Chains A and B, each alone.
Chain A
């Protein structure tokens, strides 16, 4: 990836807080900008910052590190606690990023409002300081390990990678929206098999920041659909060397994320939105390939968690009662008919065919593209279908070893690729 010199680019930096401008004016050379994003994370963020400082001292002692706490106006004194934890020995800035509520009323998995603004500020600081790497880490994490410092930066410092995306070890039914939709759809579209684990931690090279990240239109879509999915899709879609860091389990201090329909609308809407932007990229892609990894090998944990399958099926049934008029508009006639014919009388026999699920996802992407309905309503109408498909996945595999779940998800991913011509054909037809 070519790296434009900073003085050759004219970027709008009016979004930078005055405090940051002042700090930049007096800044000394930096190799690594580390941003810890916080919002009322006083119990976890100090440990995150301290662990990372120790990790960099151990694994990248030659790099000049600047740690920045980007805080979204915490009420629990988080910035002071982080500052105390970092101590006097490390270079440290504490800044407050602007917070503007997105239309879908959801922040992100890290629960940091204004997260997009924080990432943009951090990337701009890295750009202005000519830092080779910019690392973003969530302050609510409880599972940060010293080795993250190596895994999340070395591939850029030493191996020429442009973007390091996280991959966490998960329970067998954890992240089903990601594993049944976001990840396989993104992989199929852009040809890079990324886990699409949003947030937690990711890192960019300076060239990625200058060529791809900062020049993007930072419009309303970014906060609306979430910076994490946006960054992931950007890395997958663009000509960037992507690496996945296997970071072990992800434990964190949970915060309110909004209801399931909103989470779904935001995350899926983000992918659909980017499909419109990068149509020229994903149309010609025929196959997907794995991306390099760093970190520890990850296996899916056999822990099931507390899923309420019966309620999920009831949620699907409620959709059958309430949303049929919407589904009739957004789904293709054959998919709509198949949904109506799904038998739900016998829970143990309930099956939602993978092929139907993929067709539904593609139909919704097309309906989104064609603006058949108000987009938020359209996206939220997917919720009962997602519940139905997930319930079916659980019912079909719950007595199998964890490998059975992985195989089912692999078959589903293959289905996405097999049916991609359907998506392309209808998308083109729609554009004519």
Chain B
């Protein structure tokens, strides 16, 4: 049963999936919806609430599907529209929602709109794109993919004009000044919502409009259009969600929430590298500083927190010094650097240190926002840095120690990418099957943490107050929502730490550890002493002292 709460996304744990990488149902070496349907029981068992699918539309796959050739179809290799609908029904039946990537900013140069546009200056779709007879317009706009692109303009010999693209040159930007484009993309969204989708992760939203003299990002026109999308969805559908991909500073992302009338959710990009920095430097300040710079958002909005995703660990929102530190700490080997970031999965980034993996997951599970798990990170999957671009973190999901990691029955040479097979992260040792059988595996730990998080809405909806103990290696904060108060304490250091917390405001409360149910000594007006193992953490529910000592009102009168 799906929750009927329209704010469901505030409590949800998200799970990011690439259809091609998850499970191959027809044995052709590429993951598909048939395979995905077969793995829904696993996802239900894990306890996640919402699946985020990367683009599955027809595409020449020059940018792994983000170069969409047809917004209204399913790529043949992934299945049929009927299978998508069946997948949605099956997910919903298990209480899981599904959102999908929608690339608003651009299309593939193979899209029929672009092919028609370049053929005729007077054709109906010519103005679907941004054309120029020179490459000097919008000169203040930065180039995002500096590894591959020299300009945001590319000459098209057929059209005999330059076209505008903020990303790869094979991805021409749509012209949102054109009402027909705005309507076409609204219709695209409506089409998919009518199929049963629960929302969209909207790709690259800051770049929809261009205006001379600006950096062509976050323009007011963009917000006006996004608000019109929200209006249409709210007017016609119930319980759907829009998630913004805006790799910006929180103050720049804040407008994307509007007054609660634009996006429901947005990624908190700059927090992510600072979680890694905090652990590496054994100091809480990078993390607390980031929240100091994070503005309040409307009550019906939510941040999305993540440790890794299908892209590189982006360092765009880091200063030069911070970037150097991150490269030094996590990417000394130049082979693992991608664009402005690091192309590694979570486990290899953390040198497969289970304690660090747990600690960082604990942070994204307990800081304000909804966590997103990248497929495979729940079992500590490794990557393949020898593969080009970001393919190294998009290898087949490792289900079993059998052929092709249980991902596909095909000839191994047929796989869309080779399964990771090294001694440390290879599917023979890291796979779902073996970890399901082990009570203390990372997978079982993740499942328990997801379950514990779901028990308290304060994780998703509570306020946050950072505590400031003198020991800066310890990050402690209080989350409060309605009658619930949670105390979260993390040791960012690789050595055991003691900390004294100022909890006088909660005098009389009893900290009850959420995972084991152990009751800790009662809080008094004196500093509360805790000791933490290296990279250790505590999740406490501060159970208040009740005048009658009763929670239900019948403890003393049950007999």
* B552 close to A312 (CB less than 8 A): yes
Give Cα distance in the complex from A308 to B552, angstroms. 5
A307 & B554 in contact (Cβ 8 Å cutoff): yes
> Which residues from chain B contact A321 at a C-beta distance below 8 Å?
451, 454-455
Given A307-B552, A311-B552: A174 in contact with B455 (beta carbons within 8 A): no
In the assembled complex, the CB of B453 is this many whole angstroms from the nearest CB of chain A, namely 11
B interface size (C-beta, 8 A): 16
Answer whether A198 and B559 are a contact pair too, CB < 8 Å, given A321-B451, A321-B454, A321-B455. yes
Q: Is the CB of B554 within 8 A of A264?
A: no
A259 within 8 A of B: yes
| B319 CB within 8 Å of chain A | no
Residues in A neighbouring B558, C-beta threshold 8 A: 175-178, 260, 263-264
Interface assignment of B557: CB less than 8 Å from any CB of chain A:
yes
Q: Mark B388-431, 1 if CB is under 8 A from A, else 0.
A: 00000000000000000000000000000000000000000000
Flag if A257 contacts B455 (CB, 8 Å): no
Residues of B within 8 A of A174 (CB): 557
A22 at the interface (CB under 8 A from B): no
A175:B557 contact, CB within 8 angstroms: yes
CB within 8 Å of B: which of A245-268? 254, 256-257, 259-260, 263-264, 267
Mark each residue of chain B from 431 to 451: 1 if its CB lies under 8 Å from any CB of chain A, else 0.
000000000000000000001
Q: How far is the CA of A76 from the CA of B393 in the complex (A)?
A: 69
Closest Cβ neighbor of A197 among chain B residues = B559
Q: Point out the residues of chain B lying under 8 angstroms from A256, CB to CB.
A: 549
A175 to B555, CA, bound (A): 10
Chain B residues, CB < 8 A from A267: 559
Q: Is the CB of B556 within 8 A of A257?
A: yes
Per-position binary interface string of chain B over residues 519-559, scored 1 when its CB falls under 8 Å from any chain A CB and 0 otherwise: 00000000000000000000000000000111111111111
Question: Does A305 have its Cβ within 8 Å of any Cβ on chain B?
Answer: yes
Residue numbers in A under 8 Å from B454 (CB-CB): 321
Would you call A74 an interface residue if the criterion is a C-beta within 8 Å of the partner chain's C-beta atoms?
Answer: no
- A345 close to B (CB within 8 Å): yes
Check A387 for interface membership: any CB of B closer than 8 A: yes
Closest Cβ of chain B to A269, distance in Å, is: 13
Residue from A177, A182, A306, A390 having most chain B Cβ neighbours under 10 A:
A306
Per-residue CB contact flags for chain B residues 1-26 toward chain A (1 = under 8 Å, else 0) read 00010000000000000000000000
Closest beta carbon of chain B to A306's beta carbon, Å: 5
Across the interface, do B555 and A259 meet the contact criterion of CB distance under 8 Å?
A: yes
Residue of A nearest to B547 (CB): A306
Within 8 A of B (CB), among A231-255: 254
The answer for the CA separation of A345 and B554 in the assembled complex, in Å, is: 23
Chain B: CB-nearest residue to A260 = B555
- Report chain B residues within 8 Å CB of A257: 555-556
Q: Which residues on the B side are within 8 Å of A308 (C-beta)? A: 551-553
Please indicate the chain A residues that have their CB under 8 angstroms from the CB of B455 in the complex: 318, 321-322
Question: When the two chains form the complex, which single residue of A198, A322, A390 contacts B554, counting CB atoms closer than 8 Å?
Answer: A390
Partner of B559, one of A109, A173, A387: A109
Neighbouring B residues of A318 by C-beta, 8 Å: 455
Query: For residues 119 through 171 of chain A, which have their beta carbon under 8 Å from a beta carbon of chain B?
Result: 171
Q: Note all chain B residues with C-beta closer than 8 A to A264.
A: 558
Q: Decide if B559 touches A178 in the complex (CB within 8 Å).
A: yes
| A295 at interface, CB cutoff 8 A | no
Residue of A nearest to B558 (CB): A177
B44 to A: closest C-beta gap in Å = 13
Q: Is A306 a contact of B548 with CB atoms below 8 Å?
A: yes
Q: Check B555 against A306 for contact (C-beta < 8 Å).
A: no
In the complex, what residues of A have CB within 8 A of residue B451's CB? 321-322
CA distance A318 to B559 in the complex (A): 23
Q: Whole-angstrom distance from the CB of A344 to the nearest CB of chain B?
A: 11
- Residues of chain A within 8 A of B556, CB atoms compared: 254, 257
Interface centre among B4, B455, B553 (most CB of A within 10 A): B553
Question: Which residues 448-481 of B sit at the A interface, judged by CB distance below 8 A?
Answer: 451, 454-455
Query: Considering the chains assembled together, what is the distance between the CA atoms of A197 and B4 in angstroms?
Result: 44
What are the interface flags for A305-325 relative to B under an 8 Å C-beta threshold, 1 for contact and 0 otherwise?
Answer: 111100110010010011000
1/0 contact trace for A329-352 toward B, CB 8 Å? 000000000000000010000000
* Chain A residues within 8 Å of B559, by CB: 109, 175, 177-178, 182, 197-198, 263, 267
Residues of A166-195 at the interface with B, using a CB-CB cut-off of 8 Å, are: 171, 173-178, 182
The answer to whether B4 and A345 have CB atoms under 8 Å apart is yes
Q: With A and B bound together, what is the CA distance between A100 and B488 in angstroms? A: 39
Closest B residue to A252 using CB positions: B556
Query: Complex: how many Å from CA A63 to CA B406?
Result: 86
User: Which of B548, B556, B558 has the largest count of A CB atoms less than 10 A from its CB?
Assistant: B558
Q: Which residue of A lies closest to B556 (CB)?
A: A254
Q: Which residues of B contact A171 (CB under 8 A)?
A: 557
Closest chain A residue to B454, Cβ basis: A321
**B553 and A307 contacting across the interface, CB-CB below 8 Å:** yes
Q: Which residues does chain B contribute within 8 Å of A254, judged by CB atoms? A: 556
Given the contacts A178-B559, A198-B559, A321-B451, A173 and B4 also touching, CB distance less than 8 Å: no
The answer to whether B4 touches A306 (Cβ under 8 A) is no
- Within the complex, the shortest CB–CB distance from A97 to chain B, in Å, comes to 22
Give bound CA distance, A305 to B556, whole Å. 11
Q: Among the interface residues B549, B550, B552, B553, which one has the most CB atoms of the partner chain A within 10 A? A: B552
CA A258 – CA B455 in complex, angstroms?
24
Residues of A281-298 at the interface with B, using a CB-CB cut-off of 8 Å, are none
Tell me how far the C-beta of B439 lies from the nearest C-beta in chain A, rounded to whole angstroms.
Answer: 13
CB pair A173–B555 under 8 Å, yes or no, is: no
B557 and A305: CB pair below 8 A?
Answer: yes
Specify which of B549, B550, B551, B554 is in contact with A173 (CB 8 Å cutoff): B554
Q: 1/0 per residue A386-408: CB within 8 Å of B?
A: 01001000000000000000000
Give every chain A residue within 8 A of B554 (Cβ-Cβ). 173, 176, 260, 305, 307, 312, 390
Top 8 A-B residue pairs of the complex, sorted by shortest distance between their CB atoms: A177-B558, A307-B553, A306-B553, A174-B557, A308-B553, A260-B555, A312-B552, A308-B552
> Knowing that A197-B559, A321-B454 are A-B contacts, what are 14 other residue pairs whose CB atoms are under 8 Å apart, sorted by A's residue number?
A109-B559, A173-B554, A175-B558, A176-B558, A182-B559, A256-B549, A267-B559, A305-B554, A305-B557, A306-B550, A307-B552, A311-B552, A312-B552, A315-B552
A-B contact pairs, 21 of them (CB 8 A): A173-B554, A175-B557, A175-B558, A175-B559, A176-B557, A177-B558, A178-B558, A197-B559, A198-B559, A259-B555, A260-B551, A260-B555, A260-B558, A267-B559, A306-B553, A308-B551, A312-B552, A312-B554, A315-B551, A321-B455, A322-B455
Q: Which residues of A contact B (CB under 8 A)?
A: 109, 171, 173-178, 182, 197-198, 254, 256-257, 259-260, 263-264, 267, 305-308, 311-312, 315, 318, 321-322, 345, 387, 390
